[in-house]
Amino acid sequence: MENRFKVINVTPRGFCKGVYNAIELAKQTRMDYPNEKITILGELVHNKDVVLALKSLNIHTIESKGKQRIDLLDDVLEGIVIFSAHGISPLVQIKAKNKGLKTINASCEDVLKTQDLINAYLEKDYDIFYIGQLGHPEAEASLDLDLNKVHLIQIGNELPKIDSKKIFVTNQTTMSILDIKNTIESIQTIYPYAIVSDEICSATRLRQEAILKLPESVDAIIIIGDKSSNNTKMLAKISRNRSIPTIIKIQNLGELDPKLLDQCHELAITAGASTPKFIIDEIVHFVNAYAIDPQIDKKDYSIHPFI
């Protein structure tokens, strides 16, 4: 039988180094402290399957939508607390130490680099324009570096009015490259003297650029990733900017409605930086088989544990 539609595997996709390192650090912590209670403050990376896999190692996650890390910490009473890949506020680190908790920091080095830059400009008495998302843990950690001098700029919102000529502009690492470019240009029209450092991480940039480079003939894209993953959401946003007619966002094979593929001619498949490879693989295997035979059953493409 011939393929009914073409499948394009977008690369890179799936785990970035920051996610990989955070998971390895959590696993190593369990090996180093086999009898200690280990708690992750917020999801280690934004993926429910990763959270479940860590639970199977007796590493528990505390997360509550809308609750900041500093408040989540109230529920950690003993043992080891792991800070997630998104970075952590200095206020949370101090509170954890004061509670007598042992701390392990799984912050991604790209997030730490942005925080170091912000600290360096704060020391020189700059105001910081931080382009990010209200409530995202990475933004929360950066804003906490100085609640008076770090100003959150949300996409599409009005810019703050600042008299100082000392302004440093930077951003959350997982934003849309197009949004960041436009927002930086807007800031520069009002504050032409602002110093700018675009800190979108290379994992986020490369995954978004790969979508922008897809052939015009691509008429559908599957984006695999957790609903709470910002870099995954941005892949969908870039696909909309790129005007791909059918955008299918799923967390796993179970969520895929194969009928959505029946009308497409060229289908691209990508995944956010916190999506485990086994989830991507099972979807890719299924879709390639479905392109040939629409009678196949999703149930035959099983999920395997990865941790």
Nearest approach, Cβ of 19 to ligand SF4 (angstroms)?
Answer: 5
Helices in the chain by DSSP H: which ranges? 17-32, 48-55, 69-72, 90-98, 109-123, 137-143, 177-190, 202-212, 230-241, 277-292
Nearest approach, Cβ of 262 to ligand SF4 (angstroms)?
Answer: 33
Per-residue buried b or exposed e for 161-173, using 16+ beta carbons within 10 Å of the residue's own CB: eeeeeebbbbbbb
Nearest approach, Cβ of 18 to ligand SF4 (angstroms)?
Answer: 2
- Report which residue's Cβ sits closest to ligand SF4: 18
Nearest approach, Cβ of 202 to ligand SF4 (angstroms)?
Answer: 7
**Residue 138 appears among annotated catalytic residues:** yes
Which chain residues interact with ligand SF4 by CB under 6 A?
A: 16-19, 85, 108, 110-111, 173-174, 201, 203-204, 231, 273
Of the pair 46, 149, the CB lying nearest ligand SF4 is at 46
Of the pair 59, 203, the CB lying nearest ligand SF4 is at 203
CA distance 251 to 46: 11
Of the pair 40, 111, the CB lying nearest ligand SF4 is at 111
CA distance 132 to 154: 6
CA distance 229 to 186: 27
Q: What is the 3-state secondary structure (H, E, C) of 179-219?
A: HHHHHHHHHHHHCCCCEECCCCCHHHHHHHHHHHCCCCCCC
Of the pair 171, 251, the CB lying nearest ligand SF4 is at 171
85 CA to centre of own chain: 9
Nearest approach, Cβ of 167 to ligand SF4 (angstroms)?
Answer: 24
Query: Of the residues 43, 138, 140, 282, which is catalytic?
Result: 138
CA distance 219 to 215: 9
Of the pair 19, 38, the CB lying nearest ligand SF4 is at 19
Residues with catalytic roles: 138
